[in-house]
Amino acid sequence: MAGLAAAARARELGAEPLVLEKGDRAGGSMLLSSCVIWRYRSLEAFQEECPGGDPRLQRVIVDQLDAAIAWLESLGAPVVEHDTGNPRTTGKRFDPAGLTQALVRVIGDSSVRLSDRGQTPLQTANILCTGGFPVRLARERALLVRSNPWSEGDGLDFALARGGEIAGDLDEFYGRAMPALQDLEEADFVRLAQLYGKHAIVTAHDMSERFEGEPDWSETRLVQQIANWPDGLAWYTVHSSWLDLKIRDRTIREMIEAARAAGGVVEEHDAKISVLVRPGVTQTLGGIRIDEHARVVGAEDLYAAGADVGGISNGGWSSGLAAALVFGRIAAEQALS
């Protein structure tokens, strides 16, 4: 998302951008996402939800996101819903394929160069937008990958080698509790997510741990907690009287049945039903330190945007697409100024 937003803005400003994409398609994790681009309603709320994030960067998102969303609409990106359905937040839901196409149309097809060998020369890049390192983190911690398959931390490594600094905790991630399968298909990322942690008794798979207290609304901290438990596994146990409760567009029963049908471990006992879950890493929250102008702190003439950047959502979760969009645009403007 960040790279396409930066390149589209650069084209609009009269430059000739080149997007070097490591994967075999444009769009990154954005293309796989639910594509709700949102912000908290105020900086104070943002700070409260993500206390580990830098308020200077959070303020930029609060101040600039609405205009950035209007810009996407002006480029013809199709809006699917005009609000988020979450009273804490404001934003819009786009069609991810339509949004990708709209940005590529502005950039120009021939200026988005896909790699067929999984390698790109970052030395020629001045704006880093490689999507953080969800794949690497999932591999290192034996968790599931719930992101595009190419984001391995190349941007972070490159920035650090150039003198860049780190912001946020590199162990922190945004993810979802998924059925504990061997791995996940992209088509299952949304379909199989188990979003009822706050209605479940959550215990480590060997019963050595139990989650106490109320999970945060996005269940990000809950999922991170599970990742620290033995084998990164947990049971979500729900009383049968909760099964018809609707969360977003699905009931708990539907989520459990989707897990069962996919081959997940589901056990029933004493009017309760338990699902074995493992975190799927969607986005890393630690990364490159930038300033309000998307400049990499410590490295000259280098900009970064999107999940390559740390220190925005730490301690909670805020829209990764919003950060990618806002700082992608800013990076292009600054690189050309």
Ligand X SMILES: Cc1cc2nc3c(=O)[nH]c(=O)nc-3n(C[C@H](O)[C@H](O)[C@H](O)COP(=O)(O)OP(=O)(O)OC[C@H]3O[C@@H](n4cnc5c(N)ncnc54)[C@H](O)[C@@H]3O)c2cc1C
Phi, psi of 247 (to 5 degrees): -120, 115
**What character string, x for contact with ligand X (CB under 6 A) and - otherwise, covers 10-39?**
----------xxxx----xxx-xxxxxx--
Q: Which of 130, 194, 218, 284 binds ligand X (CB under 6 A)?
A: 130
Does 147 sit near ligand X (CB under 6 A)?
A: yes
Does 319 sit near ligand X (CB under 6 A)?
A: yes
Kindly identify the residues of this chain, within the stretch 233-292, that bind ligand X according to CB under 6 A.
Answer: 282-283
Distances in whole angstroms, Cα of residue 58 to Cα of each of 44, 64, 130: 10, 10, 21
Residues 6+ apart with CB under 8 A from 291: 56, 297
The residue whose Cβ lies closest to ligand X is 320
Does 324 sit near ligand X (CB under 6 A)?
A: yes
DSSP-derived pairing of the beta strands 303-304 and 127-128? parallel
Report whether 265 contacts 273 (CB < 8 A): no
Does 128 sit near ligand X (CB under 6 A)?
A: no
Helix (H, G, I), strand (E, B) or coil at 80: strand
Does 2 sit near ligand X (CB under 6 A)?
A: yes
Q: Which of 197, 306, 315, 316 binds ligand X (CB under 6 A)?
A: 306
Q: Which of 133, 189, 229, 327 binds ligand X (CB under 6 A)?
A: 189
Q: Which of 58, 64, 89, 148 binds ligand X (CB under 6 A)?
A: 148
Degrees to nearest 5, angle at CA 104 with 285 and 9: 70
CA-CA-CA-CA torsion sign (188, 171, 330, 218): positive
Query: Where on the chain is the footprint of ligand X (CB under 6 A)?
Result: 1-3, 20-23, 28-30, 32-37, 120, 122, 129-131, 146-148, 150-151, 154, 189-190, 282-283, 306-307, 319-322, 324
